[in-house]
Amino acid sequence: MIMNTTGDGQMTLTFDEEMFGVEKVTHTPPKVTFNFKELFSSPISEEYMCSHNSMAVLGDSLSFLKKMKDKSIQLIFADAPYNIGKDFGNDSDKWASVSDYIEWCKTWLDECMRVLSDTGTMYFMTATQHMPYLDVFVSEHYNVLCRIIWAYDSSGVQSKKIYGSLYEPILMINKSKKALYTFNYEDILVEAKTGAKRKLIDYRKNPPQPYNTEKVPGNVWDFSRVRFKMEEYENHPTQKPEALLERIIKASSHPGDVVLDPFSGSFTTSAVAVRLGRVGVGIDLNEGYYEIGLRRTGITNIRNGKNLEKVKERKTNAKSKYVRGE
């Protein structure tokens, strides 16, 4: 503790963490070897490849989910197409009507909740205009644990006619209000700026103690979108940041748990799950994204004689001012 005197003669005590020589310990996740056959109740006809801790599947998510056993998955993250016309190669991301899209979402949500364990957790995303319909559906049939906002730093193309979109909704759900679920709050603490910056002492406690320098995150998450110059960038139009998935996986699963992403895209979920000592299962209908998953999760770097090396391509022809040299 250090005594400080302010200009008005008052004295305050602050806590200097460096004086106590606290050693930071880095934990290496245990090696996981998983028997993927345990997840299925019927034969797999889709192309797939596995390592000791990751499985990548090339196929339709709904068809594949129906082959999985009930209550076999501990954590699900689902980032399905938003029905806004994104180009995913072999899927136009556009339904005939909003009603058709919502009904499709209800179908895969039901399948996901079927394979989710009784103590499991699911997070899913969709467009802001569609989430209210699915929020009501989940509230009537399952249980909403938290409504999360992922806020980011840019809305892409800057509109001059309306406010730019700077967030996407995430719903955290489980099977029922009475169901237990995992929430490892100590693994996802963030800086409590007031306590950390000012290093004040709380004299209401006996004995006096420093104010907390860390806290559990709120439901507004500030993570940058994935940019072309970032190391994690993959050739996918709606790639989610590793930091976002790391928070979800750390909070809602344990090492060795199975983490499923039925719309894997760039396979960020599986890649982060494997890095954190979990078991990753990823499904995607697009062959190019499937190959990203094979490489990114460490399953293989070769498929049908093709070297699956990373080649970065821009998602848009528009270049940032930094690339333009401005």
CATH number at residue 37: 3.40.50.150
pTM: 0.85
Give the up-direction half-sphere exposure of residue 285: CA atoms within 13 A in the CB hemisphere.
15
Residue 106 belongs to a domain: yes
Q: What does the alpha-carbon distance between residue 281 and residue 259 come to, in Å, rounded to a whole number?
A: 6
User: Is residue 252 in a domain?
Assistant: yes
Q: Mean pLDDT over residues 261-269, rounded?
A: 97
- Contact assessment for residue 273 and residue 279, using Cβ atoms and an 8 Å cutoff: yes
Q: What is the pLDDT of residue 91?
A: 60
pLDDT at residue 30, as a whole number = 67
Q: Which of residues 90 and 12 earns the better pLDDT score? A: 90
Q: Give residues with Cβ within 8 angstroms of 190, minimum separation 6.
A: 214, 215, 216, 217
Domain count, the chain: 1
CA angle 278, 147, 144 (to 5 degrees): 80
Residue 23 lies in a domain: no
12-31 pLDDT, tens digit each: 343 344 433 444 445 666 67
For 163, phi and psi rounded to 5 degrees?
-65, 140
DSSP states of 173-200 as a string?
Answer: EES-TT------GGGS-EE-HHHHHH-B
| Residue 80 located in a structural domain | yes
- Containing structural domain, residue 52: 31-145+168-188+230-308
Q: Is residue 37 one of the residues assigned to a domain?
A: yes
Bond before 237 cis per omega within 30 degrees: no
